[in-house]
Structure 1
Amino acid sequence: MARAPGTAPYACHPADSRGRLHAEELSTFRSPWQRDRDRIIHSSAFRRLKHKTQVFVEHDGDAWRGDYFRTRLTHTIEVAQVARTIAGVLGLDTDLAEAVALAHDLGHPPFGHTGEDALAALMAPYGGFDHNAQALRIVTRLERHYAGFDGLNLTWETLEGIAKHNGPVAAPYPWALAEVNAAWDLRLDSFASAEAQVAAVADDIAYNHHDLHDGLRAGLFTEADLAELPLVGPAFAEVDRRHPGLDPGRRRHEGLRRVFGAMVEDVIAVAQGRLAAARPANAEAIRAMDGPVIRFSKPLYQNLKAIKGFLFTRMYRAETVMEERASVTAMLNTLFPMLMDDPRLMPAEWQDEMAAALDTTRRARVVLDYVAGMTDRFAISEYGRLTGLRGAAAQP
Structure 2
Amino acid sequence: MPRVKAFRAVRPAPANAQKVASVPYDVVNREEAAELAAGNAESFLHVVRPDIDLPADTNPYADEIYAKAAENLQRFLSDGVLQQDDSESIFLYRQIMNGKSQVGVVCCCHVDDYENNLILKHEFTRPAKEDDRTRHVMTLNAHAGPVFLTYRDDQGLNQLVDDAISSDPLYDFTAADGVQHTVWKIDAPSDYVAALTGVPAFYVADGHHRAASAWRAGKARREQNPDHTGDEEYNWFLTVLFPASQLNILAYNRIIKDLNGQSVDEIRSRLAEVGTLEPTDNPVPQNSGSFCVYLDGSWSLLRVPDESIDQGDAIACLDVAILEQRVITPIFGIDDVRTDPRIDFVGGIRGTKELEARVDSGDWACAVSMYPTSIQQLMAVSDAGEVMPPKSTWFEPKLRSGLITHLLD
The verdict on a shared fold, with TM-score over 0.5 as the criterion, is: no
Which one has a larger percent helix, Structure 1 or Structure 2? 1
Quick one: higher RCO (CA 8 Å, sep 6+), 1 or 2? 2
- What TM-score do you get using the length of structure 1 for normalisation? 0.26
The two structures have a TM-score, normalised by structure 2, of 0.26
